[in-house]
Amino acid sequence: MPSKKLKDYLDEHHIKYVSISHSPAFTAREIAESAHIPGKELAKTVVIKIDGKMALIILPANMQVNFAALQQEVGNDNIELASETEFKNKFPDCELGAMPPFGNLYDMDVYVAQALTNDVSIAFNAGTHSELIQLKYADFNKCVNPKVVNMTS
């Protein structure tokens, strides 16, 4: 079942979505294969720190974060990957590493890769390692209002 916080938020905002169950998977590649979703349509959530403040980067599962490009786009050289120890308590309703890209639910800024904005729909972890939520990118954008950046390689 998706994170209660996420499901309640989507339902309250009348966002149409599909829940996709899959066998437990932990890497973006495993999840995409298990759920039969192209890697470019599976959005992975990466937790970073900008000047020590946690934020989320959302990018296609088949891409990597290019920190040099991200630093240039954000205009800040003090950006680093957050460790699981640092963010594990930030998402109390989620399994570690299965956070949804809704930073607004966790008081975090969200940056989304330009590449995802071209997709009609995206799928992402729903708070567990065995379920995804799929919805229209336009609905994600409307709900989260992420900052769009070119940060991938």
Euclidean distance between CA atoms 50 and 32, whole angstroms: 29
Lowest mean pLDDT among 3-12, 28-37, 64-73: 28-37
pLDDT band at 33 (very low <50, low <70, confident <90, very high): confident
Q: Are 135 and 121 in contact (CB under 8 A)?
A: yes
Average pLDDT, the chain: 91
Query: Is 57:151 a contact under the CB 8 Å cutoff?
Result: yes
Average pLDDT over residues 63-92: 93
Least confident segment among 47-56, 57-66, 101-110, 138-147: 57-66
pLDDT of residue 153: 54
For residues 9-24, average pLDDT: 92
Tokens representing residue 6 in the block: 């996420």
Report the range of poorest mean pLDDT among 37-41, 72-76, 111-115, 145-149. 37-41
For residue 46, what pLDDT is reported?
95
DSSP H or E stretch at residue 43: strand 42-50
Q: Does the structure show a pLDDT above 60 at 1? A: no
3-state class of 121 per DSSP? strand
pTM: 0.92
pLDDT band at 80 (very low <50, low <70, confident <90, very high): very high
Query: In this structure, what DSSP letter does residue 83 have?
Result: P
Q: What is the DSSP letter of 37?
A: -
| CATH number of this structure's domain 4-149, picked from the four choices 3.90.960.10, 3.90.550.10, 3.40.50.720, 3.40.228.10 | 3.90.960.10
What is the C-alpha to C-alpha distance for residues 60 and 45, in angstroms, rounded to an integer? 9
Residue 34 confidence (pLDDT) above 90 = no
> Is residue 143 very low, low, confident or very high in pLDDT (cuts 50, 70, 90)?
very high
Q: Are 98 and 132 within 8 A, CB to CB?
A: no
Instruction: Please list, residue by residue across 87-104, b when 16 or more beta carbons sit within 10 angstroms of its beta carbon and e when fewer do.
Output: beebbeebbebbbbbbbe
